[in-house]
């Protein structure tokens, strides 16, 4: 069992993050001591670590709430999780395409750079300002 400060330290978050997760329904309301202190279980620590890991992977808190809803409540967990993951794959693939397009544009800009880079007029800046070459 952990007090909120111990749990925060164990999970690498601050106490306000834990309180926020409780308000958003990501964490269940903890039990309390007779003195009114929150007491958290190892399950709470695992859940916070899961949330942080999902954030590291690029999931938003609203997506994590949906994910946890599937884990906690859905009768058809496998189907719902598969649908969720499939949608996330589509989203990631779109981001990859956008990043590749941006990379191409940046490479194109860099290629406009002359060998003498000490000059005042910069072809990259001129291209960006003109708006019609990209």
**pLDDT of 36-85, one tens digit each?**
998 999 999 999 999 999 999 888 998 998 888 887 876 777 888 888 88
CB 45 within 8 A of CB 6: no
Query: According to the model, what pLDDT value does residue 129 have?
Result: 82
* Calpha distance 63→58 (Å, rounded): 10
Separation in Å, CA 58 to CA 24, 38, 73, 105? 19, 30, 23, 24
Here the tokens at position 129 are: 């300002």
CB 1 within 8 A of CB 40: yes
Picking from 54-58, 108-112, 114-118, which range would have the lowest pLDDT averaged per residue? Answer: 114-118
Query: According to the model, what pLDDT value does residue 133 have?
Result: 55
Q: Across residues 10-17, what is the average pLDDT?
A: 95
pLDDT surpassing 90 at residue 98: yes
């Amino acid at each position: 069992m952990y007090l909120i400060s111990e749990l925060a330290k164990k999970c690498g978050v601050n106490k306000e993050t834990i309180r926020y997760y409780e308000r958003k329904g990501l964490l269940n309301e903890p039990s309390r001591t007779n003195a009114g202190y929150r007491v958290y279980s190892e399950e709470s620590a695992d859940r916070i670590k899961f949330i942080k890991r999902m954030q590291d992977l690029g999931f938003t808190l609203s997506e994590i709430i949906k994910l946890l809803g599937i884990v906690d409540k859905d009768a058809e967990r496998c189907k719902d999780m598969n649908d969720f993951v499939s949608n996330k794959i589509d989203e990631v693939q779109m981001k990859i395409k956008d990043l590749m397009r941006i990379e191409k544009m940046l490479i194109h800009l860099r290629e406009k750079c002359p060998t003498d880079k000490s000059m005042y007029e910069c072809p990259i800046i001129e291209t960006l300002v003109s708006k019609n070459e990209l």
